[in-house]
Structure 1
Amino acid sequence: MAHEDDDLGKVWKLVEKIGFCMLTTQSGSDLRARPMSAHAEEIENAIYFLTDVASHKDDEIARHPNVCLAFADSKGQKYVSISGTAEVQNDREKIHDLWATPAKAWWDSADDPSIRVLKITPSSAEYWDSPGTVISYIKMAAAAVSSSRPDMGDNAKVEM
């Protein structure tokens, strides 16, 4: 159990550190991903985003609420994939809580009536945390020469 708790903590730490993800929704029979700025709330077991009421993702989520969040720090060789359920909310207080400088690229103020909160409730996650690009390449080269498998860091599946 302690190991699972460590893995869960690792997921939240990586999500917080990476900050941006690709949000994948279902559009008809296709999958569609777009970059989003994430606001992780471990205590609430939720990841929040600001979105616009006129966006297509809101319609997609209404029809198919299961989504995937893919976080990637390619330079640090750290990745997280989270599956969960999405819902769009018109929570004005939460919008003000989440309002930050990057949001100004899309809206003039937190009081813009078209802003909505996209809440993802994670159900499961998987992370990959390797020691970094240079060390990973060295380990892969050593494994190739010795015909062994390289230790590429930590990987775990976690129920959330």
Structure 2
Amino acid sequence: MTDTKDDISKVWELVDKIGFCMLTTQSGGTLRARPMSAYANRDENAVYFLTDVASHKDEEISRHPEICLAFADSKGQKYVSISGTAEIRNDREKIRELWATPAKAWWDNAEDPSIRILKITPSSAEYWDSPGTVISYIKMAAAAVSSARPDIGDNAKVNL
């Protein structure tokens, strides 16, 4: 793993740009993923989500706080996987801070008593950042003809 400032910055930049991810939790002996809208805060080394107190993910996290976040911009060929620890909080100030239009699909307002904060503290991440689909395909085709490995972008594992 690397931990250069540039690689760490790249992780946070991609997470912020992509915005949506699949949150994977443990449910008994299986893994379960669901799409979530992420709010990244590099200064706090945290990724936040709004969640509902009645959701199953809260129970899963209380039993197994280790999670994985998978961010994907397939058109731009940019991906980030984050491993970390999750906790559920009833932080009304943070809920109001994160309240935005997408949340209105689930709750009427930020004062809804069923809203909770899901805070992820990342421990490590890996990112893949290529120049885009067309260029990547061209480089892969050229590599196949020449029997060389294609250089299709940046990849790094980082400690956060």
TM-score (norm 1): 0.98
Distance 1:4 1:105, change over 3 A: same
Give, in whole Å, the separation in 2 of the partners of 1:96 and 1:74: 31
Percent identity (aligned) = 81
Aligned residue runs from structure 1 range 74-89, under 5 A: 74-89=74-89
Give, in whole Å, the separation in 1 of the partners of 2:136 and 2:80: 18
Tell me, which stretches of 5 or more residues in structure 1 are unaligned? none
Give, in whole Å, the separation in 1 of the partners of 2:89 and 2:138: 47
SS of aligned partner of 1:122: strand
Give, in whole Å, the separation in 2 of the partners of 1:107 and 1:69: 23
Query: What corresponds to 2:107 in structure 1?
Result: 107
Give, in whole Å, the separation in 2 of the partners of 1:111 and 1:3: 39
How far the C-alpha of 1:3 sits from its partner, in A, is 7.0
Give, in whole Å, the separation in 1 of the partners of 2:25 and 2:149: 35
Please list the CA deviations of residues 104-157 of structure 1 after superposition, one character each: whole Å capped at 9, or x if unmatched. Answer: 000000000000000000000000001100000000000011111100100000
Please list the CA deviations of residues 33-86 of structure 1 after superposition, one character each: whole Å capped at 9, or x if unmatched. Answer: 000000000000000000000000000000000000000000000000000000
Give, in whole Å, the separation in 1 of the partners of 2:147 and 2:69: 35
Q: What is the count of residue pairs matched by the alignment?
A: 159
Query: What corresponds to 1:64 in structure 2?
Result: 64
Letter of the 1:107 partner, please give it: W
Aligned residue runs from structure 1 range 3-152, under 5 A: 4-152=4-152
Q: Runs of at least 4 residues of structure 1 off by over 4 A?
A: none
